[in-house]
Structures are given as C-alpha cells and as structure tokens.
C-alpha cells in the first residue's frame, strides 16, 4: 500500500468516526467514536512522519525509523484488539 492509499484510508475512517461521534445521541457512544476518529487522525500524521523519515537517508536515522515503525505497528495491533473485543471476538 503506497502512502497516498494509507492517507486516504486514514482520512476515510477519520471522517466516518467523526460523523458517528457528532451524530450520536449517546454520550458514551460519542466518546468511543471520537477516540476512534482521533486514532485515525494520529495514524494519518504517523504515516506522513514515517514518509519524511524514510526520505532522510542518514544511517543514524535508521534506528529511529525502525523504532517508529515498530511503535506504529504496536498501535495498529492494539486498535485491532480493541475492535475485536468490541465485537466479542475475544471472550
């Protein structure tokens, strides 16, 4: 998946969850939807930051880039686990 596709995906989900948050009549559902919207906004920023880091060919930057990618992967895994819990995938 290229950068443009990643950014479009993040933007799509951000808008979806933001709209759900703003249209919800239930405060708890609205809060949950806003958390998801902010997650996708954060992912959008992270993908842009990673792209900038990848453009810097400095060898000293390599360790920071690997750590940043690992942290991004961790956040995506945590988000996936949360979604699976919400749909009762895990008992």
Q: Tell me the pLDDT of the chain (91 aa) as tens digits.
A: 999 999 999 999 999 999 999 999 999 999 999 999 999 999 999 999 999 988 887 888 888 899 999 999 999 999 999 998 888 865 5
- Give a yes or no: residue 91 inside a domain: no
68: three-class secondary structure by DSSP = helix
Domain count, the chain: 1
> In terms of residue numbers, what domain contains 65?
3-86
User: Cα(first)–Cα(last) distance of the chain, in Å?
Assistant: 32
- Give which of 3, 84, 16, 76 is closest to 43, Cα–Cα: 76
- Give a yes or no: residue 32 inside a domain: yes
Task: Give yes or no for a contact between 15 and 56, defined as CB atoms under 8 angstroms apart.
Answer: no
- Give a yes or no: residue 45 inside a domain: yes
pTM, 2 dp: 0.85
């Amino acid at each position: 998946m290229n950068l443009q596709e990643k950014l479009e995906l993040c933007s799509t989900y951000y808008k979806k969850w933001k709209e759900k948050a703003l249209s919800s009549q239930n405060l708890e559902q609205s809060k949950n939807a806003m958390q998801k919207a902010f997650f996708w906004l954060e992912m959008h920023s992270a993908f842009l930051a990673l792209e900038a880091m990848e453009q810097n060919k400095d060898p000293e930057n390599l360790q920071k880039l690997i750590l940043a990618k690992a942290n991004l992967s961790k956040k995506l895994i945590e988000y996936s686990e949360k979604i699976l819990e919400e749909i009762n995938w895990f008992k």
